[in-house]
Amino acid sequence: MKKYSSYFEPSLKDARKRLHKDTAIINFHMEPRYFDLGKNKKYLIKTYGCQANIADSERIAGLLEAMGYSEVFEDDKSDLILFNTCAIRENAEDRVFGEVGRIKSLKKTNPNLLIGICGCMPQEEKTIKTIKEKHPEVDLVFGTHNIFRLPEYLYEIKEKSEKVFEVFSYEGDIVEDMPVKRDHNKKAWVNITFGCDEFCTYCIVPYTRGKERSRSPEHIINEVKELASNGYKEVTLLGQNVNSYGKDLNIGYTFANLLSDLQKTDIERVRFTTSHPKDLDLATIEVMGRRGNIMPHLHLPVQSGSNTVLKKMNRKYTKEDYINLITALKNAVPDIAITTDIIVGFPTETEEDYLKTLELVKEVGFEGAYTFIYSKREGTPAAKYEDDTPADVKKTRLLNLNKLINEGFLKGNKRFEGKIVKVLVDGESAKNDEMLTGYSEHNKLVNFKGDSSLIGSIVNVKIDKAYTWHLRGTIVK
Ligand code: SAH
Ligand code: SF4
Ligand code: F3S
């Protein structure tokens, strides 16, 4: 296959534009001509990156199954391998191309094998260039805005034996009613916003995912109610900045309103990610304080403890604002577990800036964090900032930060020793099939002995011992 039956290249410059046009809502329906396209065919999706991608992969799987495809987990049994990719850091991108290169030999034994790349990486010009120059084995490329067109792409490839490369760079729309094949039957992801308008100076997401678009409250609430009536116990609301939910709808309905409405539904657990300190408001904290089904855990990325760095990152809050939020949260939800994201080695970060991050970590008492070394993203403002910190200094910063974070992790776990926690049982532990595993309300990983019939239910577990990464306990009535 050489020619393209369809070809559209991305442009990071176009992706940056915000033209303030209304968001279109597309109601998806599958055309009958696609129904049998996947009959007797197998697919495998490899998902990288954040929950937005995990949720997208569930929709891609839904589309493929509606076309008759069935899922497999082995490369050599697949007729279609799709890489749903992430562009957030360079190492995420390198991993994908390594894997694509490894898989191309499978085309020798299965000449009908299709290899596709979708998600955030194709939204960057450089990815398209690399695919065209080095990966002729790739048959299909699409981006984050056109997942719903996948059936058409597979149809075109089959009818014309030509490649499809189609990536759009614009603000984005909302597609409702796509089929979905969820990975879990008790826990579900529920998108509340798509895209991001924050333009943190280091971050590629506003370019790969379009402008911030909120789904309507009705669509979200109905989805959650339906999940609850289908036996789901937990939902995680998804958005790059959930706290700015609703602003684009101009109907005077906020994230606090949404949480409050979901508190009244039958779903047993509500989580949400990611929160932004600039938009997390007291109204939301008050709703969290009423507790009900809102879980006592908050992931609140701080990124840095230095006001100079925060300003250069365009985060639009200060360290003091952040501490005030933490105080308000701890007042409203006294036992809350707080986790965060931190970047070290941001361009111009000095040793003094870094030490301020360590101080903040101690002051807040985070119970976990994702920590990263800054990775330069072409097309973002920070890519032009002077970056004179040597790589080994950045590594040492990360290492020492992680030590401190892990102490906080253990301390946060220790507070549950001797206590009884409620665990939503996910399944058998990967390491030991006599052990069950699941998450507590505070989002702590809990392992305990139990019968597999308990999978999917919420059980009481008395915590015997806390470790850095998990809790171990005994089931109690
Ligand atoms: N919207 C969310 C998640 C963004 S991506 C948020 O604002 O928190 C998840 C994390 O990746 C970010 O919080 C940030 O810590 C990290 N990250 C983003 N861009 C990065 C980059 N260029 N280099 C290193 N880490 C980055
Ligand atoms: Fe990236 Fe900032 Fe948007 Fe998060 S809020 S996705 S870090 S631009
Ligand atoms: Fe990665 Fe795209 Fe998510 S860049 S972090 S998969 S929004």
Rg of the chain, C-alpha, whole Å: 23
State which of 343, 357, 385, 405 you would mutate to test the pocket of ligand 1, scoring each by most atoms of that ligand within 8 A of its C-beta: 343
Answer yes or no: are the C-beta atoms of 417 and 432 closer than 8 Å.
no
For residues 135 and 211, membership in a common domain is answered with no
Question: What does the alpha-carbon distance between residue 411 and residue 366 come to, in Å, rounded to a whole number?
Answer: 9
* Residue 298 backbone zone (phi > 0: left; psi -120 to 50: alpha; other: beta): beta
User: What is the CATH classification number for the domain harbouring 221?
Assistant: 3.80.30.20
Q: pLDDT band at 434, cuts 50/70/90?
A: confident
For residues 368 and 324, membership in a common domain is answered with yes
Q: Whose CA is nearest to atom 5 of ligand 1?
A: 88
For residues 403 and 431, membership in a common domain is answered with no
Residue 362's pLDDT is 98
For residues 437 and 379, membership in a common domain is answered with no
* Residue 258 predicted with pLDDT over 90: yes
Mean pLDDT of 84-89: 97
Q: Tell me the CA–centroid distance for residue 281 and ligand 2, in Å.
A: 18
| pTM passes above 0.95 | yes
pLDDT one-digit tens code per residue, 141-192: 999 999 999 999 999 999 999 999 999 999 999 999 999 999 999 999 999 9
What are the pocket residues of ligand 2 if the criterion is a CB atom closer than 6 Å to any ligand atom? 196, 198-200, 203, 205-206, 240-241, 276
Question: Of 392, 414, 436, which one is at a domain's C-terminal end?
Answer: 414
* Residue 393 predicted with pLDDT over 80: yes
Q: Tell me the CA–centroid distance for residue 428 and ligand 2, in Å.
A: 35
Q: pLDDT band at 92, cuts 50/70/90?
A: confident
- For residue 164, what are the β-bridge partners? 6, 140
Q: pLDDT band at 1, cuts 50/70/90?
A: low
Residue 477's pLDDT is 84
Q: Tell me the CA–centroid distance for residue 50 and ligand 1, in Å.
A: 10
Question: What does the alpha-carbon distance between residue 330 and residue 285 come to, in Å, rounded to a whole number?
Answer: 9
Number of domains the chain contains: 3
Q: pLDDT band at 23, cuts 50/70/90?
A: very high
For residues 291 and 373, membership in a common domain is answered with yes
Q: pLDDT band at 41, cuts 50/70/90?
A: very high
Q: pLDDT band at 431, cuts 50/70/90?
A: confident
For residues 262 and 394, membership in a common domain is answered with yes
CB neighbours of 44 closer than 8 A, spacing ≥ 6?
Answer: 71, 72, 73, 74, 75, 77, 78, 80, 81, 82
Q: pLDDT band at 286, cuts 50/70/90?
A: very high
For residues 84 and 141, membership in a common domain is answered with yes
Q: What is the DSSP string of 158-190?
A: HHH--EEEE---SS--EEE------S-SSEEEE
Ligand nearest to the CA of 272: 1
Residue 247's pLDDT is 97
User: Whole-number mean pLDDT of the chain?
Assistant: 96
Question: What does the alpha-carbon distance between residue 234 and residue 339 come to, in Å, rounded to a whole number?
Answer: 19
Token pair listed for 265: 């539904």
Amino acid present at 363? E
Which has the closest alpha carbon to 362: 411, 317, 324? 411
Does ligand 3 lie within 6 Å of residue 209's CB atom?
Answer: yes
Residue 2's pLDDT is 62
* Residue 20 predicted with pLDDT over 90: no
For helices 90-103 and 125-134, what crossing angle results, to 10°?
30
* Residue 433 predicted with pLDDT over 90: no
* Residue 94 predicted with pLDDT over 90: no
State which of 202, 372, 395, 405 you would mutate to test the pocket of ligand 1, scoring each by most atoms of that ligand within 8 A of its C-beta: 372
Question: Of 125, 143, 166, which one is at a domain's C-terminal end?
Answer: 166
For residues 144 and 266, membership in a common domain is answered with no
pLDDT one-digit tens code per residue, 216-255: 999 999 999 999 999 999 999 999 999 999 999 999 999 9
Residue 61's pLDDT is 98
* Residue 415 predicted with pLDDT over 70: yes
For residues 192 and 256, membership in a common domain is answered with yes
State which of 240, 315, 370 you would mutate to test the pocket of ligand 2, scoring each by most atoms of that ligand within 8 A of its C-beta: 240
Q: What percent of the chain has pLDDT over 70?
A: 100
Q: Tell me the CA–centroid distance for residue 289 and ligand 1, in Å.
A: 27
Spatial strand order of the sheet with 187-191 comes to 187-191, 234-238, 269-273
Question: What does the alpha-carbon distance between residue 54 and residue 312 come to, in Å, rounded to a whole number?
Answer: 30
For residues 284 and 390, membership in a common domain is answered with yes
Domain carrying residue 201: 174-414
For residues 451 and 386, membership in a common domain is answered with no
| Atom number, ligand 3, closest to the C-alpha of residue 52 | 3
Question: Of 148, 166, 184, which one is at a domain's C-terminal end?
Answer: 166
For residues 303 and 431, membership in a common domain is answered with no
User: What is the CATH classification number for the domain harbouring 439?
Assistant: 2.40.50.140
Q: Whose CA is nearest to atom 4 of ligand 1?
A: 240
pLDDT one-digit tens code per residue, 266-277: 999 999 999 999
